[in-house]
Amino acid sequence: MKRWMFFVYGIACYLAFLAVYAWFCAFTGNVLVAKSIDAPVASSPAIAVAVNFALLLAFGAQHSVMARPAFKRVWTRIVPQPIERSTYVLASCLAVVLLIWQWRPIDAVVWNVENTTARGVLWTLFAIGWLMVPVVSLMINHFDLFGVRQVWCYLRGRECQPLAFRTPWLYSHVRHPLYVAWSLAFWATPTMTAGHLLFAIGLTAYMVAAALVEERDLLAHFGQQYAAYQRAVPRYIPKFGKRTTTLQESQRTPSGQSL
Question: Which residues, other chains included, contact 127 with Cβ-Cβ below 8 Å and sequence gap of 6+?
Answer: none
Q: What is the pLDDT of residues 181-221, one digit of tens each?
A: 999 999 999 999 999 999 999 999 999 999 999 899 888 87
User: Closest Cα to residue 21, out of 114, 146, 118, 117?
Assistant: 146
Q: Tell me how far the alpha carbon of residue 245 is from its chain's centroid.
A: 24
Overall average pLDDT of the 5-25 stretch: 98
Mean pLDDT of the chain: 89
Statement: residue 4 has pLDDT above 50: yes
**pLDDT band at 238; cut points 50, 70, 90:** confident
Least confident of 27-31, 109-113, 125-129, 241-245: 241-245
> Residue 113, CB half-sphere, CA atoms under 13 Å: how many?
14
Taking the C-alpha atoms of residue 52 and residue 202, their distance in angstroms, rounded to an integer, is 9
Helix, strand, coil percentages for the chain (3-state, nearest 5): 65, 5, 30
Phi-psi map region of 249: left, alpha, beta (phi>0 left; psi -120 to 50 alpha): beta
CA distance 205 to 170: 22
pLDDT at residue 241, as a whole number: 57
Mean pLDDT, range 170-179, rounded to an integer: 92
Cβ neighbours of residue 123 closer than 8 Å, sequence gap 6 or more? 188, 190
Going by DSSP bridges, is the β-strand pair 109-112/191-193 parallel, antiparallel, or unpaired?
Answer: antiparallel
The pLDDT, as a whole number, for residue 196 is 98
Of these ranges, 103-117, 150-164, 222-236, 241-255, the one predicted with the greatest mean pLDDT is 103-117
What average pLDDT score do residues 22-48 get? 93
pLDDT of 79-95, one tens digit each?
999 999 999 999 999 99
Residues 6+ apart with CB under 8 A from 248: 165, 225
CB 256 within 8 A of CB 139: no
Determine contact, residues 23/33, Cβ cutoff 8 Å. Answer: yes
Quote the DSSP letter at residue 88. Answer: H
